[in-house]
Amino acid sequence: MGAAAGPVSAQEAGRSETPVASGSPVTDVSESVVRVKVPLPASAGPHPQACDWLSYLRFRHKDGPAASADADKILIAQPGILEGAGAFDSVARNTVSAAAKSGRHIEFWALDRRSNCLEDRTGIEAGLTAKDVHLAVDYYYRQKAVDGREFAGYQSNDQVKWLQNVGLEQTVRDQYDLMARELPDQAARKRKMLCGGHSLGGVLTAYFAEWDFDGDHATTGDAGYNQCSGYFALDTRIATGLPGMGGQVPEEWVPIVEFGAGAVQAGLETGVVPRTLSAPAVINTETMNLLGIAGLAANLDPGGLSDLATYVPSSSNTDMTYRVLFSKDYPTFLKGSPTVKDFRFTNAAALGGLLDDNSEPLAFMQASVGFWDGGKIVDKEFPAPNNLDEIGLGGLSRLLGTDKKAIPGEPGGPLYTWRNYDRVGAPDDPVHTSKDGTPFTSAGKEVTDIAELARSLSEHPLDFTEHYFPTKMITDIALAGAPGIADDAVHEDGLTANPTLNLEAGAGLRGGDPQPGDVVAPGYQHIDVLTASAVQNDGRPEPVSASLAAFAR
């Protein structure tokens, strides 16, 4: 038996599946959220009951078989860092649809890591249903109940103590247990399943391939590589460890790893080392949720005036996050003026400003969704100038991205709008230029529909982002050679036991290091390999999903 489509109400049976309504333009693909009860071991410590369930988004063709066991292939994807199952929305739909055009019915399972059980989507789901983003903000910030439920607040370090025990081993074992529960026949798993991931998901897939899951290293039927017929890497490599990972495993975020596994574990147990990956601004639980709220606003009313910067109550976190993301230069950042509240944006422009590669300063969070419009645009030279190569700091582009950054230049001025990816280069495009006279962008560099990005951020029961990323995941990978961390990752030949498809973003984290056999998507940023539109500006099929569909033969 494989996974069957349709809702199952008896959660006591250990599995539920619920259809997910979608506004996607790819209408021949059905989506459901699947939850399977796989309890944490007692050694994990006290934890919420919801965290004894594993979840994934199941995408299949509407004319395909109801049971997963009858699908031609199943692609299983591990998310990247700070990423949830919802991030795979577009690539999953596009891949399933492309395969169906060739007469094959495949499925795409987007995994949600266990720690995402801590997220509360109630406000965003209520706002989506009521078509009112203020309802979501009121739930998270003004103690307004939804169906009798009140937001309990973001979890503190003390409240997530159990995450100090959720690292590499638990994560790969969760994937194995889920696969075995959903498709119990190992021979069928080996024949039908393709394993892969985005960014950090490539590293996790590599460890999964090497892992021995029954504790008997002499037997291999349980080995990770024998659960898959191939691997796929989305702007990553299927490789273990930190070297050459292009910033996908940010060891420098957890500097205590230099002191060894014992110091790390002691730090996690005492709480001195934060149990989730977080920063005072830009990257933390609240800002990840705010991305969902911004996506909801852009999904519901893309051309409407954004008021999130004023309707969301001010805090040191939000103020500093806006200051980092929307400061034109260092004097603006230091002075704190003008602020984001001094500009008028549409909801789509606000979202573009948060995630577009010409605005968002962190490469691993960038997508190519179009460009600013509606008024004067100037160079954004904070946190770094746009001429990094000229001043000998080209190496920073791995962290900050390769594209020049831009920002609206008229506080108190016009309503800034957003020119979608497929309108860049159109006859009415004013072609905004940098101070060096070159255009900030061009049609060949824009690949993701901002409307689809907004929908992916706000529409799914499993989030696009990951609010509580366990620090132990990073420390385990950094210290995998230490006793007790990855002792069962013994099948090193597992990485070459199956074919691998490498799908790299041309301007992504690995775009500067193509290898023979790579499929390189020109103009793509790190997030674009997940979000790119099925309809591209060059008129050709979207290369990532087309290649995945061909690989799943």
Instruction: Report the distance separating Cα 81 and Cα 309, nearest Å.
Output: 26
Averaged confidence pLDDT in the chain: 94
Instruction: Report the distance separating Cα 347 and Cα 467, nearest Å.
Output: 22
CATH topology of domain 15-115+159-244+302-470+492-552: Rossmann fold (3.40.50)
- In what helix (H) or strand (E) does residue 321 lie, and over which residues does it extend? helix 316-326
pLDDT at 395: 74
pLDDT at 3: 52
Q: What percent of the chain has pLDDT over 70?
A: 95
Structure confidence at residue 5 as a pLDDT band (50, 70, 90): very low
| CA atoms within 13 Å, Cβ hemisphere of 190 | 13
pLDDT at 249: 52
pLDDT at 400: 87
Q: 244 and 237 in contact (C-beta within 8 Å)?
A: yes
Is the pLDDT reported for residue 243 higher than 70?
Answer: no
pLDDT digits (tens, 9 = 90+) for 148-171: 999 999 999 999 999 999 999 999
Q: Which residue has the higher pLDDT, 12 or 552?
A: 552
pLDDT digits (tens, 9 = 90+) for 181-193: 999 999 999 999 9
Is the pLDDT reported for residue 244 higher than 80?
Answer: no
CA 549 vs. chain centroid, Å, equals 21
Q: What percent of the chain has pLDDT over 90?
A: 87
pLDDT at 399: 81
pLDDT digits (tens, 9 = 90+) for 495-526: 999 999 999 999 998 766 788 899 999 999 99
Q: Is 506 left (phi over 0), alpha (psi -120 to 50) or beta?
A: alpha
| CA atoms within 13 Å, Cβ hemisphere of 175 | 36
Residue whose C-alpha is closest to residue 206's, from 424, 495, 439: 495
